[in-house]
Amino acid sequence: MNPLPVLVGKAVRVASRLRGGGSAFPGLVVERLDPRFMGRALSTVPHGVVVVSGTNGKTTTTKMVVELLEGQGLTVFTNRTGSNFTRGVAAALLGEVDWRGRLKADVAVLELDEAHAVHFVKLVPPRYSLLLNVLRDQLDRFGEIDATTRLLERIALATTGTVVLNREDPRVAGLASSITTAEVAYFGLDASLRSTFPNDDELRGEAGTAPASALPADVVLRSVDGNSAEFEVDGTTTRTDLRLRGVYNIFNAAAALAAARAVLGRSADTSRLFASLAAVEPAFGRGESLVVDGQALELVLVKNPSGFRLGLKSFDPAGCATMIAINDNYADGRDMSWLWDVDFDSLGLGGVDVVSGVRAYDMALRLKYDDVRVGAVEPDIVDALKQFIRGSEGRPKRIFCTYTAMLAVRRELSKITKVEVVS
């Protein structure tokens, strides 16, 4: 084996870090010099590779799986920088491998965007995959929800050990019928919680939710009460307090538990799994809480209708100042019609203080049709944020924002409070 590509890649990584540049570029360099680098580095990991994919919740769920496995004493490799493309994985690997390209980890847990995951699994068949959901999102990239389902199917078919599926999402649960070689495990919800998580068919349907699934689930989320939740594992129900906020994150915890149990098998220490879960902090922009002027400021990332709905449902607007920032860059999705699949009635009482982003007027128009009062519309995020903070003195604050709007909000907030800025 020629160690040169690895060394060149590492050098590029150091150089681009010093320059403060993009995190995936070194990955591109090593991919070009040595296309088999990634597969070789990952093939030696004793517990194999876990791929996490789906429309919503990848980042938080991946973080949870990593911390659950670390809590069991495993050394875990992951693509922590949030670069969920193949190239990002290669870049993250460069930081961790020795000069011969060997990775010192017991298991790799990787968050992969649906389309890139298909490319990745051709290079590196995962031992485990965790498939969360298929919801309308970025249809301008993938075309149709059913096309996205087929992408997840290819991940499932490439998996050699266990595929962990969301029992409550009919498109995801339906993948089980085409899986022949791998084992299948499910995570699920108590029937009483099902209406909180509409699947895509139920998003617009007025008929209510489909009957509860009869599929046996390895982990079931039984109840949620604020930040406390009950999970059923092996017939035993355990209550635990969580630092994660938002019901959707807590359902992702059930997914992460099921995936960790698949990796650990009989060696799983269940009480330690719950101890690790209780300590997980929210990931970047996923219900993080910052402090501005002595008041909590929450950032809620919204990318698609179901995520926005769950975000609105998870955080009580009473007494809270609200800002919404909607951009339409490639990473946000260019099509604005998704805003019309979200109900904003819950904001009707307090209104929205400031609406911002490139598509501020699309958002303001949407709110007008739900009779939600809007204080100000300011497309420039820097100006909008100043106006918002000035106008909401003494009140806790909440900002719903799309991905690139969140980057801009964080950059600006970092000037006045402690924020981790991710480039």
Partner 1 sequence: MSDAPSASALTEAPADPAKGSLRILQLYPREMNIYGDYGNVLVLKQRLAWRGYGAEILEHNAGDPFPDDVDLVIGGGGQDSGQIVIQDDLQAIAPTLRRLAEDGTPMLLICGLYQLFGNVFRTHDGTEIPGIGVLDLETRGGAERLIGNVVATSEEFGEIHGYENHSGQTYLGDGLKPLATVIKGAGNNAEEKHEGARYKNIVASYLHGSLLPKNPAIADFLLRTAAERKFGEFQDDGVDDTLAELARQHAGARPR
331 binds partner 1, rule: CB under 8 A: no
The conformation of residue 235, written as its DSSP 8-state character, comes to T
CB of 379 to partner 1, least distance (A): 7
Q: Is 365 in the site for partner 1 (CB under 8 A)?
A: yes
Q: Is 226 left (phi over 0), alpha (psi -120 to 50) or beta?
A: left
Closest approach of partner 1 to the CB of residue 110, in Å: 28
**Which one of 101-109, 136-144, 249-257, 413-421 is the stretch in contact with partner 1 (CB under 8 A)?**
136-144
Can you tell me the distance from the alpha carbon of 205 to that of 160, in angstroms, rounded to the nearest whole number? 37
Q: Which residue has the tokens 């699934």?
A: 213
- Binding to partner 1 by CB under 8 A, coded x per residue (else -) over 144-163, reads xxx-----------------
Across the chain, which distance is largest between two alpha carbons, in Å? 65
Query: Whose structure tokens read 């998704």?
Result: 338
Determine contact, residues 389/292, Cβ cutoff 8 Å.
Answer: yes
Write out the two tokens for 49.
Answer: 């590779």
Among 20, 177, 206, 415, binds partner 1 (CB under 8 A): 206
- What is the Cα–Cα distance from 120 to 247, expressed in whole angstroms? 30
Contact pattern from residue 304 through residue 323 relative to partner 1, giving x for each residue in contact according to CB under 8 A and a dash for the rest: -x------------------
* Burial class of residue 146, CB neighbours in 10 A (0-12, 13-18, 19+): exposed
User: Shortest approach of partner 1 to residue 89 CB, angstroms?
Assistant: 27
What gap in Å lies between CA 36 and CA 183, rounded to an integer? 28
Cβ pair 331, 299 in contact under 8 A: no
Name the one range near partner 1 by CB under 8 A: 1-9, 105-113, 133-141, 175-183: 133-141
DSSP 3-state assignment of 8?
helix
What the block records as the tokens of 39 is 């597969």
Please select the residue that binds partner 1; options are 2, 20, 178, 207, rule is CB under 8 A: 207
Please state, in angstroms and rounded to a whole number, the distance separating the CA atoms of residues 296 and 223. Answer: 26
Residue nearer to partner 1 on the CB measure, 16 or 209:
209
Asked if 280 interacts with partner 1 (CB under 8 A), we say: no
Can residue 143 be called a binding residue for partner 1 (CB under 8 A)? Answer: yes
Phi, psi of 146 (to 5 degrees): -65, -30
Closer residue to partner 1 (CB): 235 or 369? 369
Q: Is residue 379 at the binding interface for partner 1, with CB under 8 A as the rule? A: yes
Nearer to partner 1, 316 or 335 (CB): 335
Residue from 113, 288, 298, 328 touching partner 1 (CB under 8 A): that is 328
Among 21, 205, 216, 265, contact with partner 1 (rule: CB under 8 A): 205
- CA atoms lying within 13 Å on the CB side of residue 293: 11
Q: What is the spatial distance between Cα 296 and Cα 277, in angstroms, rounded to a whole number?
A: 23
# residues near partner 1 by CB under 8 A: 39
Residue 139 makes contact with partner 1 by CB under 8 A: yes
Residue of 70, 96, 230, 341 that binds partner 1 (CB under 8 A): 341
A 10 A CB-CB count for 279 gives: 11
Among 4, 368, 373, 414, contact with partner 1 (rule: CB under 8 A): 368
Q: Can residue 359 be called a binding residue for partner 1 (CB under 8 A)?
A: yes
CA 35 vs CA 31, 137, 202, 357: distances in Å: 5, 31, 43, 39
From the list 215, 340, 416, 421, which residue makes contact with partner 1 (rule: CB under 8 A)? Answer: 340
At its nearest, how many Å lie between partner 1 and the CB of residue 369? 5
Minimum distance between the CB of residue 146 and partner 1, rounded to whole angstroms?
5
- Work out how close the CB of 211 gets to partner 1 at its nearest, in angstroms, rounded to a whole number: 9
**Which secondary-structure segment (H or E) carries 81?**
none
From 44-52, 67-75, 132-140, 346-354, span contacting partner 1 (CB under 8 A): 132-140
Q: Which is nearer to partner 1, 110 or 355 (CB)?
A: 355
Show the binding pattern over residues 169-188: x = contacts partner 1 (CB under 8 A), - = does not: -x------------------
- Please report whether residue 74 would count as binding partner 1 according to CB under 8 A: no
CA distances from 183 to 34, 114, 162, 216, 326 (A): 33, 21, 4, 13, 41
What's the full length of the chain, in residues? 423
* Contact of 219 with 187, CB cutoff 8 Å: yes
- Among candidate residues 421, 405, 396, 407, the one with its CA nearest the CA of residue 291: 396
- Of 176, 179, 336, 376, the residue at the interface with partner 1 (CB under 8 A) is 336
- Binding residues for partner 1, rule: CB under 8 A, are 136, 139-140, 143-146, 170, 201-202, 204-208, 210, 305, 328, 334-341, 358-362, 364-366, 368-370, 377, 379
